[in-house]
Every structure is written in structure tokens, then in C-alpha cells.
Structure 1
Amino acid sequence: MTEQEAQQQISEWLQADHFRMQVLRTVQTLGLPECYVAAGFLRNLVWDQLHQKASSELNDIDILYFNTVHSEDEKYAEHILLQQFPTVSWDVKNQARMHLKHQHTPYASCAEAMSCWPEKETAVGVRLGSDQRCEFIAPWGLSFLFDCCITWNTKRPLSLFQQRVESKQWLARWPRLTLRMNND
């Protein structure tokens, strides 16, 4: 599958998902710079579709943005999101500050920050553009999501990757998934 085909397919699945579209519209109103809904929001959608499952419940929704000027907008954004979706657990993170948590050099963008996430299939995000079309961010692209793999990002410790795979029970939830320990 080409990258363009992957984007088209995921866009169609998102358009058909009323809840996810409502989340995207609400996040768009926050006006945060370089803001995306990321991680399981997209990854789970693709894996559910590939496993012909109903949309799985999201234990949280990750919102990321990049702002070096106003670095403390997380609480404001979470407050607004909780007003709209009171039963959802929100995880809003300014990627301009996340290098501190991981003891990395400062990131220049959301994409650079995402390139340091423990598994590559989680490093995917989407937002609505001004034309209301889906715009994606994914350091390794989106097409590999269709490979049914969980790929270790060697920028992070293998033990962290293994712990996440086990604790999140991805292999049990999506039994066609396989682990990919190399970067091929």
C-alpha cells in the first residue's frame, strides 16, 4: 500500500466514525499550534479495521502540540475537552517540553518528538485542516500500520517497548499483530 492510499483509507475510516470526527472538530477549536490527535486514536482504528472488529474503546486520547512560547496550555486544553467529552480521559502534552522528561536535546517539532516514541505504530497523528480534510503526521508514514506489526523504536530501551506491549495487551486484543524488533 502506498502512503497516499493509506492516507485515503484512514481518512475514509475517520469520516465514517462519528465520535472520532467529533473529537477532531473539538480539538481543532482549541487553536493550539501544530496540534494533532495521536497514538491509539489512529493506530487502534487501523488495527480494528484490519481485524474486522468494532471500534475498540480508547482508554485515553492523546493530544499533542508544539508551542515554545506558551508552554503550559495543557490544563486549559484538558479543561475544554473535558467539558465537551466528560467521560474521556485526555492526555494533552506540549511536545516542546517533552525532551525534559526523556532527557533528550530539545525537539524542533511534533514529528521529531514523535520519532522518539517507544513503538513506531504509535507515532501517528491526525488533525483537521482549514478545509476540514484530514492532515496526518507520522515520522515513519502511515502505510506500515497496515503491516499488522508493532515495531520497536531503537531510540528507546527495548525493555520499555516490551513492557508497553505486555501491559497494553496489544497482541491479545489484535491477534494478527506481530512484533518487529528491527528497523527494516
Structure 2
Amino acid sequence: MNEEKIVKMIREDEWMMETLRAVDILRLPDWWICAGFVRSKIWDVRFGTGERTLLDDIDVIYFEPGNIEERIEKFYEKQLCSMMPGPRWSVKNQARMHVLNGVPPYSSSADGISKFPETATALGVKLDQSGNIILIAPWGTEDVLNGIIRPTPPFKKTRLMSIFETRLNTKKWEQNWKGLKVCRE
């Protein structure tokens, strides 16, 4: 599997396309659906039973430095819930998310994705103006495709490594997808 096959796999998944189109309607600046939305699809195909693993939420990010009030994010979540009431939506403006980890401000959504805890989670997809899927993977797709859970460089050997460890313990990825490997280096 490679990036083209990931995009094809998403394009052929009616629910994922419906989800992408719903977020596209909002016309958020520099938006992406990321993390488990992409990672879980790949792992379901590579390491799972072929059935969709239920997501805790659908992570939608965007970048709008001129309006960083959390209430705006909640407004977008409500709009998405009205369009697609099934999943729980999590909408976050990356222009304010750096505060959670006590790091310098992000310059874009892509910069925010690159600061996610795991390389296999640092993924995002969106639709371009023609409705084509764009995939972003700041740390590449090799780890997610090979089932490797590894901290991204911003987390590796820093005080943030405890966040990585906590996520490993709470997410239970290795129970959901047999064959995953943890690499802390």
C-alpha cells in the first residue's frame, strides 16, 4: 500500500466521502480531517477484520489565527452534528492548540498535524476545490502502513513523551489491531 492506495481506499468508502463533503461545506480555512479518521481506516484494512473500527470522534482541524475563541469551534461541531448526527465531532482551531502542549504557536494546520504525538496519527485528508482527496503526512506514511506506533520528533525524548505514553495506555490500539508494534525511538 502507498499514498495513492490510501487515497483510493478513502475515495471508495462512501461514509468517509460523505464525512469529507460535510466538512467541506463549512469552508473552514486550511481544514483537514485527521488522526484516527485516516489511521483507523488504514489499520482496519491492513491489520483488522476489514470492518470499520468505531471512532471516539472525528477530528476536524482548521487554522484561523484571527478568531481563536473555543465557542466558534463548538459552533462548527453543532453544524456538523446537524449534517451528520451519528459521530461525535471534535473541531479545533490549530491557531490556539499549541497552548495545550506549551509549545510555540503553529503556523498552519499542517504544522499542527506535524506536532501530533504519533507518526501514525499525524495524517490528514481534505477535499480540494475539484473534490479530489488530498492526503497530508508530515512524517510520511511508512509507520502507519507498517503498523508502527512511534512518537513524532517533537515528542521524542522530551517532556511531551509522557503524553505519548499515556495515549499508548489509554487508546488500546494493540488490542484493536493485532500486529502493531511500538517503537519509542
Distance 2:26 2:3 in 1: 24
Work out the percentage of aligned pairs sharing the same amino acid. 35
| Corresponding letter in the other structure for 2:91 | V
1:16 aligned partner: 12
| Corresponding letter in the other structure for 2:29 | P
The alpha carbon displacement at 1:52 in A equals 4.6
Runs of 4+ in 1 over 4 A off after TM superposition: none
2:134 aligned partner: 135
2:149 aligned partner: 150
> Any stretches of 5+ residues in structure 2 without a counterpart?
none
The alpha carbon displacement at 1:159 in A equals 2.3
The alpha carbon displacement at 1:60 in A equals 0.4
Give the total of aligned pairs. Answer: 178
Distance 2:4 2:136 in 1: 14
Taking only aligned residues, the RMSD between alpha carbons, in angstroms, comes to 1.4
SS in 2 for 1:166: helix
Distance 1:155 1:142 in 2: 17
Worse-matched range after superposition: 143-152 or 57-66: 143-152
Residues 1-184 of structure 1: pairs in structure 2 closer than 5 A? 6-53=2-49, 54-72=51-69, 73-156=72-155, 157-182=160-185
TM-score normalised by the chain length of structure 2: 0.90
Distance 1:86 1:116 in 2: 29
TM-score normalised by the chain length of structure 1: 0.91
SS in 1 for 2:120: helix
Worse-matched range after superposition: 148-157 or 35-44: 148-157
- Contact (CA 8 Å) 2:113, 2:124: kept in 1 or not? no
Deviations 1:108-164 (A, max 9, x none): 111212222211111100001111111122211224321111012242332221211
> Any stretches of 5+ residues in structure 1 without a counterpart?
none
SS in 2 for 1:37: strand
